[in-house]
């Protein structure tokens, strides 16, 4: 499974990219607004750090506006993925952009029917929001299972399932078990994947034994 990081914080992205863990980045207007910087500058800097897909979302809600903004965004770098909402105009823009060779991430997906529409429109990625579904008492990971089941019946559908609104390491592990193609993970959750008390306990014991022995390396 590919790991994307869900942030517009360039410092975080640099740190995580240095670990070799990142396959891509997703941003949205809210994340870019938090950076306090121009969207063009933020996306350009991220694309220079991460060679994989970098999702940059349009702010327009109508077809013509989306296409105009997409032209600006995709001119930033070759690895920009245009992010559009799962609306009729968004899917129309998805089809047009895909036909032009542009990667498209269809976002704000909350049902298997919506995901199927995104795939039919030629999306490179469809982003079901599992955490937001869990918040209202629905089964976010159940949706991922349903979408993957449908897609596996139709090999001609090449859209990758990008698990979004990830809230915990459990979401990542279940997504991987189900065979999701990508998870886009907030930096704080990505760091939690490293954490286990037995790892910390074992390391402390090793270091204590080493100190008692008075040894050194080199």
Taking the C-alpha atoms of residue 50 and residue 77, their distance in angstroms, rounded to an integer, is 11
Largest CA distance in the chain: 71
Each residue of 46-104: pLDDT tens digit?
A: 999 999 999 999 999 999 999 999 999 999 999 999 999 999 999 999 999 999 999 99
Q: Is 2 a catalytic residue?
A: no
* Alpha carbon 213 to chain centroid, angstroms: 46
- CA-closest candidate to residue 148, choices 126, 166, 169: 126
188-200 pLDDT per residue, tens? 999 999 999 999 9
Which overall architecture, per CATH, does domain 2-213 show?
Alpha-Beta Barrel (3.20)
Q: Average pLDDT, whole number, for the chain? A: 96
Domain spans in the chain, listed from the N-terminal domain onward:
2-213
Question: Distance between CA atoms of 6 and 131, rounded to whole angstroms?
Answer: 13
Beta bridge partners of 36: none
- Return the number of other C-beta atoms located less than 10 Å from residue 88's C-beta: 10
Catalytic residue among 2, 14, 83, 120: 83
pLDDT at 218 over 90: no
Strands 104-109 and 125-128: parallel
Q: What is the mean pLDDT of residues 176-187?
A: 98
Q: Is 192 helix (H, G, I), strand (E, B) or coil?
A: helix
Q: pTM (2 decimals)?
A: 0.94
- What pLDDT, on a 0 to 100 scale, did the predictor assign at position 215? 84
The tokens describing 167, both together, are 């809230």
């Amino acid at each position: 499974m590919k790991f994307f990081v869900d942030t517009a914080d360039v410092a975080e992205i640099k740190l995580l990219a240095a670990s070799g863990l990142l396959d891509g980045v997703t941003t949205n207007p809210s994340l870019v607004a938090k950076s306090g910087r121009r969207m063009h500058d933020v996306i350009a800097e991220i694309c220079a750090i991460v060679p994989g897909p970098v999702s940059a979302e349009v702010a327009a809600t109508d077809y013509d506006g989306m296409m105009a903004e997409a032209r600006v965004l995709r001119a930033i770098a070759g690895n920009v993925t245009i992010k559009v909402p799962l609306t009729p105009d968004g899917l129309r823009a998805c089809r047009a952009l895909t036909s032009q060779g542009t990667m498209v991430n269809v976002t704000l997906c909350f049902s298997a029917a919506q995901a199927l529409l995104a795939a039919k429109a030629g999306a490179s990625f469809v982003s079901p929001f599992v955490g937001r579904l869990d918040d209202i008492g629905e089964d976010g990971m159940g949706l991922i299972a349903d979408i993957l089941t449908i897609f596996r019946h139709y090999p001609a559908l090449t859209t990758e399932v990008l698990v979004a609104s990830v809230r915990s390491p459990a979401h990542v592990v279940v997504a991987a078990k189900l065979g999701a193609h990508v998870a886009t993970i907030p930096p704080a959750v990505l760091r939690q994947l490293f954490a286990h008390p037995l790892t910390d306990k074992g390391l402390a014991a090793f270091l204590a034994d080493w100190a008692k022995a008075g040894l050194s390396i080199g």
